[in-house]
Amino acid sequence: MSSVFETAPSAAAIPITFVTKATWDAIKKELPAPARRYAEDNGFAAKPGKCLALPAADGRIAQVLFGLEDDGHKSRDPFHPGALPGLLPAGVYRFANAAHDTRLATLAFALGCYRFGRYRKNEAPDIRLVPPDGIDAADIGRMAGAAALARDLINTPSNDMGPTELADAARELATRFGASFNCITGDELARDFPLIHAVGVASTRAPRLIDLCWGDPAHPKVTLVGKGVCFDTGGLDLKPSSAMLIMKKDMGGAANVLALAQMVMDAKLKLRLRVLIPAVENAVGGNAFRPLDVFKSRKGLTVEIGNTDAEGRLVLADALALADEEKPDLLIDLGTLTGAARVALGPDLPPFYTNDETLADRVAAHAKEENDPLWRMPLWPAYDAWLDSKTADITNAPSGTFAGSITCALFLQRFVEHAKSWLHVDIYGWTPSARPGRPEGGECQAARAIYKLLSQRYA
């Protein structure tokens, strides 16, 4: 994604004036009489999301009016300015006054320029924004570029985004930032990462564990683990077709981990970064893993398969076990894991889990500051017994329908022992219907909030 920012301030930039119902009368009085009449004749009433270009005497655009919610409105959306790239004609623009949050308005503008154009012409709008004073345009561009990476990876259909292609994307990122890259496949994967191998073995596209390392080994270790299920049929516990429809997004955890890694490396944060992505396709075949099969995980725990459609936690478990062996300062995993999380919190509000109270407070604060919503849910100890199996040490899918996101988090917690702090996020990775700054399709969730957390912690 090319930068949407004008590198040098332009006196010719078209001003965008943000108005609310409360401020409209005062702003209208300051307009030249012809512009005021034009706005009135066009029925502009400062409704949120409404946009009106006011003409100059020579027919050019003199100014743009854009409606926002009043201060204190219960459903105020700081990303409303993200609608502007889809409304404005080509040109260079600037904000003439402050939005509710000018930094988030700038970010929303950049996010709103995204278009997915791999398979048909869908060019980004030819517009530029002069960054407002005091705004770190480089950091905004870094976040927008990372969001575009995550969106592109998720939006790419599975025939072009299998385990190999996901590994290629990670390798390209590693090459760009001088990181080391390794990919574990075949017999080595079957021997050392049996859960990852079991989930992916039925596909004609071989499973693999992607391993990227960057930064000074003397710096604090931060490891990111992303679920890379490039397509999920549900395995032998086959999904219905309606549930399979957008399963190309089931590698959304991997996509967002790569987006987060890109921000960390581009910002040159003082940490030792490791990225682990178990990349698989959960397919149906004669050699597919079966309900009630038992596998010995990398950690040594035996796992009974209660449901082959609970595969994400299996591949994450082996990767988390590897990450945990290094005793990182911070271990973070992201995955599109449970429908239960969507039932509880919907598509826009991923739950996160941690037993580190300070970390939880900072994650919640950065999520709010970045308009990257997250909501803490508990690692409820009483439910841990639900993971008990009569045959193995643990089951991947307890019977019953209660607390599915919590029991998934508790399952993963069994594979984290030595990390100083652990954070688990159950993302959706998809925007079901377009909103300002968030087009329909693959979405970057949790990555910006965690990037800001890491920036503060390891600047």
pLDDT in the model for residue 7? 75
Closest CA to 110 of 450, 374, 444: 444
Coil vs helix vs strand at 118: coil
pLDDT in the model for residue 122? 81
State whether 121 and 147 are in the same domain.
no
Q: Is the pLDDT of residue 262 over 70?
A: yes
State whether 291 and 323 are in the same domain.
yes
Q: What is the strand order of the sheet 294-296 is part of?
A: 294-296, 302-304, 394-395
Q: State the Cα–Cα distance between residues 369 and 378, nearest whole angstrom.
A: 22
Mean pLDDT check: name the lowest of 20-29, 41-50, 120-129, 241-250. Answer: 120-129
Active site residue 239: yes
Provide the domain limits for residue 161: 143-458
pLDDT in the model for residue 304? 98
State whether 263 and 362 are in the same domain.
yes
Domain total of the chain: 2
Provide the terminal-to-terminal Cα distance of the chain, rounded to the nearest Å: 25
State whether 159 and 60 are in the same domain.
no
Q: State the Cα–Cα distance between residues 150 and 427, nearest whole angstrom.
A: 13
Per annotation, catalytic residue among 171, 239, 435, 457: 239
Active site residue 28: no
pTM, two decimals, is 0.97
State whether 220 and 73 are in the same domain.
no
Average pLDDT of 379-393? 97
Per annotation, catalytic residue among 103, 248, 249, 313: 313
pLDDT-derived band of residue 72, with 50, 70 and 90 as boundaries? confident
Q: H/E element holding 363?
A: helix 357-369
Question: Which of 125, 153, 182 finishes a domain?
Answer: 125
Q: Is the pLDDT of residue 1 over 60?
A: no
For the chain, give the percent of residues with pLDDT over 90: 94
State whether 204 and 298 are in the same domain.
yes
Q: Is the dihedral of CA 96, 99, 104, 107 positive or negative?
A: negative
Average pLDDT of 240-246? 97
Q: State the Cα–Cα distance between residues 355 and 450, nearest whole angstrom.
A: 16
Residue with tokens 């009085």: 29
Average pLDDT of 97-114? 96
Residues 290 and 253: beta-carbon distance below 8 Å: no
| 356 occurs within a structural domain | yes
Q: Is the pLDDT of residue 358 over 80?
A: yes
pLDDT in the model for residue 2? 62
pLDDT in the model for residue 324? 98
The residues near 388 (Cβ < 8 Å, ≥ 6 apart) are 394, 395
State whether 177 and 120 are in the same domain.
no
pLDDT-derived band of residue 459, with 50, 70 and 90 as boundaries? confident
Q: Is the pLDDT of residue 400 over 70?
A: yes
State whether 74 and 168 are in the same domain.
no
Domain containing residue 121: CATH number: 3.40.220.10
State whether 68 and 174 are in the same domain.
no
Q: State the Cα–Cα distance between residues 137 and 54, nearest whole angstrom.
A: 27
